[in-house]
Amino acid sequence: MKTLKALHAIAVDRAGVAFIEFAYSLPIMVALGLGGLELVNYTTVHLRVNQVAISLADNASRAKQEVAGSNPRFRELDANESFKAAQLQGGNLDLLTNGRLVLSSLEVNSSSGQWIHWQRCQGAKAHASSYGGQGTGASGTGFAGMGTGSRQVQAEANFAIMFAEVFYDYQPLVLSGFIPNQTIRKTAAMYVRDDRDLTGIYNPSPSASVSSC
């Protein structure tokens, strides 16, 4: 009789229902919470990489070495400093390990066509410019410019555009595989803000390392 009463008491007891329901729903809630956190991080990384591209192009468009009696020059040192600033802005993204920074000088060639006069790169990721390497469009008018669709840019005669490309392998925050492995790519373009000697990129003494592509 006591056994039946005990079984009946267990059968009608509802004291642990909420706890059991919570235990069942906890994995789902955790997955949703972590997934939301990963999506927020993914969106934030897109924004940060985009800002790095804009800053890289902007800094390169402003950098110069004043030269008495001549137009200012752009140096290998200026390119390296622009890359360093981009790396610092990227912070924990670790752009030089997980990405590739590409800086191109888009100019006009002797045939009035578009031309990538010089190009510099930094970063361990193996990724070339989406529009061609240094020297692309050196002659003729077959090279249309850099960018796609309504975002394509073209330089004007005697002026240069600093075109920055940033490629970054997304690093998951908490859930590896929740967002497919992919390379985030952002671009930015800025006209050189002042007159510049467009003969080439200079490397006066003491020389700086060349961040060739």
Please tell me which of 3-7, 30-34, 104-108 the model is most confident about, judged by mean pLDDT. Answer: 104-108
Residue 159 placed within a domain: yes
Average pLDDT of the chain, as a whole number: 87
Summarize pLDDT for 39-90 with one digit per residue, the tens: 888 999 999 999 999 999 999 999 988 887 788 999 999 999 999 999 999 9
- In this predicted structure, what is the pLDDT of residue 10? 55
Summarize pLDDT for 164-193 with one digit per residue, the tens: 999 999 988 776 766 778 899 999 999 998
Residue 8 placed within a domain: no
Burial class, 174, CB count within 10 angstroms (exposed 0-12 / middle 13-18 / buried 19+): exposed
Stronger pLDDT, 2 or 121, i.e. the higher one: 121
The number of CA neighbours under 13 Å toward the Cβ of 197 is: 16
Which structural domain range is residue 137 located in?
A: 20-191
Residue 7 placed within a domain: no
- Does 13 have pLDDT greater than 60? no
- In this predicted structure, what is the pLDDT of residue 180? 79
- Does 112 have pLDDT greater than 80? yes
Amino acid identity of residue 199, one-letter, is T
**Which residues are registered as beta bridge partners of 162?**
105, 190
Is residue 21 very low, low, confident or very high in pLDDT (cuts 50, 70, 90)?
A: low
Residue 40 CA to residue 57 CA, distance in Å, equals 26
Summarize pLDDT for 123-178 with one digit per residue, the tens: 999 999 999 999 999 999 999 999 988 889 999 999 999 999 999 999 887 767 66
pTM of the model as a whole: 0.83
Residue 134 placed within a domain: yes
Residue 203 placed within a domain: no
Is residue 1 very low, low, confident or very high in pLDDT (cuts 50, 70, 90)?
A: low
- In this predicted structure, what is the pLDDT of residue 12? 59
Residue 201 placed within a domain: no
Burial class, 149, CB count within 10 angstroms (exposed 0-12 / middle 13-18 / buried 19+): exposed
Asked, as a colleague might, if the bond just before 72 is cis with ω within 30 of 0, I would say no
Whether 86 contacts 52, CB under 8 Å: yes
Residue 129 placed within a domain: yes
User: Angle 110-113-118 (CA atoms, 0-180°, nearest 5)?
Assistant: 75
Tokens standing for residue 94: 């670790």
Q: How many domains does the chain have?
A: 1
Concatenating the DSSP letter of every residue in 36-94 gives HHHHHHHHHHHHHHHHHHHHHHHHHHH--EEETTEEEE-BHHHHHHHHHHHHHHHGGG-
Residue 13 placed within a domain: no
